[in-house]
Amino acid sequence: MSATPVLETDGLTLFFNSVAAFSDVSLSVDEGEIFAVIGPNGAGKTSLFNVISRVYRPARGTIRYLGADLLRLRRAQIAGAGIARTFQNLGLFGNLSVLENVLIGRHHLMRSGTLRGGLYLGFAQLEERSHRAAAMEALEFVGIAGVAHRPVHILPYGIQKRVELARALAMQPRLLLLDEPVAGMSTAERGEITTLIRRMHERGYSIVLVEHDMGMVMQVAQRVLVLDFGRVIALGTPGEVQRDPRVIKAYLGAQLEEEAAV
Partner 1 sequence: MTTFYQLLFSGFALGCVYALVALGFTVIYRSSQVINFAQGSLLALGAYMVSWFAIDKSLPFGLAVLAAIGVCVLVGVVFQRLVLRWVAGQPVFVIVMITIGLSIVIDASVSAKFGANPRLLGDPWSSSAVHPGGVTLIWAKIWTIVTVFGVLLGFFLFDRYSRYGLAMRATAADEEAAMAVGVPTRRVFALAWGVAGAVATVGGFFLATFPNQLDPSISAVALLAFPAIILGGLDSPAGAVVGGVTIGLVEELTKGYQPAHASWLGTNFYVIAPYVVMILVLMVKPYGLFGRAPVERI
Partner 2 sequence: MSSEVRVLGRTVSAAGLIAAGSVVAAAALTVALPFMLNAFWLSTLVFILIYAIAALGLNVLTGYTGQVSLGHAFFLAVGAYTAKVLGGDHQLMALIWIPAAGVVAGLCGLIVGPVALRLRGLYLAIVTIGIVFIGQHIFLNVDSLSGGPQGTAIPSVQIGAGAQCQPSCSVDFSQGTSLGGATIDHNALYYYLSLFILVLGMLFVRNLVRTRTGRALQAVREREVAASLMGINLVRTKLAAFVISSFLAGVGGALFGSYLSFVRPQSWDLILSISFVAMIIVGGIGTVWGPLLGAIFVAGTPTVLNHYADSVPFLQHGSSSGGLSINEFSSIFYGALIILFLVLEPRGVVGLAGRAIALAQRLARGPAIPPSTPLPSQQSA
Positions touching partner 1 (CB under 8 A) are: 50, 55, 87, 89, 91
Closest contact distance (angstroms) between CB of 211 and partner 2 is: 20
97 is a contact residue toward partner 2 (CB under 8 A): yes
Q: Which option in partner 2, partner 1, none does residue 89 bind, with CB closer than 5 to 8 A by kind?
A: partner 1
DSSP per residue over the chain, as a string?
A: -----SEEEEEEEEEETTEEEEEEEEEEE-TT-EEEEE-STTSSHHHHHHHHTTSS--SEEEEEETTEEGGGS-GGGHHHHTEEE--TT----TTSBHHHHHHHHTGGG----HHHHHHT-HHHHHHHHHHHHHHHHHHHHHT-GGGTTSBGGGS-HHHHHHHHHHHHHHT--SEEEEE-TTTT--HHHHHHHHHHHHHHHHTT-EEEEE-S-HHHHHHH-SEEEEEETTEEEEEE-HHHHHH-HHHHHHHHHHHHHHHHH-
Considering only the stretches 30-38, 117-125, 221-229, 234-242, report the one whose residues sit in contact with partner 2 under the rule CB under 8 A: 117-125
Measured from the CB atom, the residue of 28 and 88 that comes closer to partner 1 is 88
Measured from the CB atom, the residue of 90 and 233 that comes closer to partner 1 is 90
Measured from the CB atom, the residue of 25 and 98 that comes closer to partner 2 is 98
96 is a contact residue toward partner 2 (CB under 8 A): yes
Binding site for partner 2 (CB under 8 A): 53, 55, 75-80, 85, 87, 91-97, 100, 103-105, 107-108, 110-114, 116-120, 124, 127-128, 149-151, 154, 167, 171
